[in-house]
Amino acid sequence: MGKQSEINVWDPLVRLFHWTLVGAFLITWVTEDDWMTLHSYAGYLIAGLLLFRLFWGLIGPRYARFTDFVKTPSKVIGYLKDLTTLKAKRYIGHNPAGGAMIVALLLSLLITTFTGMLAYGAVGMGPLSDMLPSNFGYGSEWFEELHEFFANFTLLLVVVHVGGVIFESLVHKENLVRSMLTGTKRA
């Protein structure tokens, strides 16, 4: 029996974005209270990556575009119901649940980075420091609490995402992590 044919799905920029985001998020998580300079630079990298991904989601290749994987809530729920019975349709690109997770992760990361910049700016640091009143006081603590909440929420989404990738890999008998490394999937 010959090797199954494969199709290119994840372009090099999507894969580079994904794994760089994984590394940058890990750095921000590990450095959260102790190494603020490194934490901030990793956060700025995440902000830049998010801007790139939003842009690439509009003009990138087929499987990178939001129009390919952002589905209605009813389609996401229907897919999840089918998945619970192990009868979910296999998708070459992101399935409806995966598309919803991407949207949730992007939104949560955008809020996390923005509130982090606000918290940093409120104490006179970073690119937003000139936009906030000097000695913003309690506002910096409020922004920091919001930032930490969304960082923790993002981590929860990451755990659910990884669990979904593992479950989906088992259901459809394909290694989705390998696909995000090589860019190819079974046709």
Cα separation of the two ends of the chain: 16
User: How many domains does one find in the chain?
Assistant: 1
Enumerate residues 6+ apart whose C-beta is below 8 A from 99.
Answer: 69, 70, 71, 76
* Residue 72: inside a domain: yes
For residue 14, give its domain range: 6-183
The Cα 70–Cα 98 span in angstroms is: 9
* Residue 1: inside a domain: no
What are 8's strand-pairing partners?
A: 184
Quick check: 149 pLDDT over 60? yes
Note the pTM of the prediction, 2 decimals. 0.89
The Cα 71–Cα 186 span in angstroms is: 23
* Residue 61: inside a domain: yes
Contact between 120 and 44 under an 8 Å Cβ cutoff? The reply is no
pLDDT tens profile 98-124:
999 999 999 999 999 999 988 887 666
Report which DSSP code applies to 124: T
Quick check: 137 pLDDT over 70? no
Residue 104 sits in a domain of what CATH number?
1.20.950
| pLDDT band with cut points at 50, 70 and 90 for residue 144 | confident
* Residue 49: inside a domain: yes
pLDDT tens profile 54-81:
999 999 999 999 999 999 999 999 999 9
Beta-carbon count within 10 A of 179 CB: 19
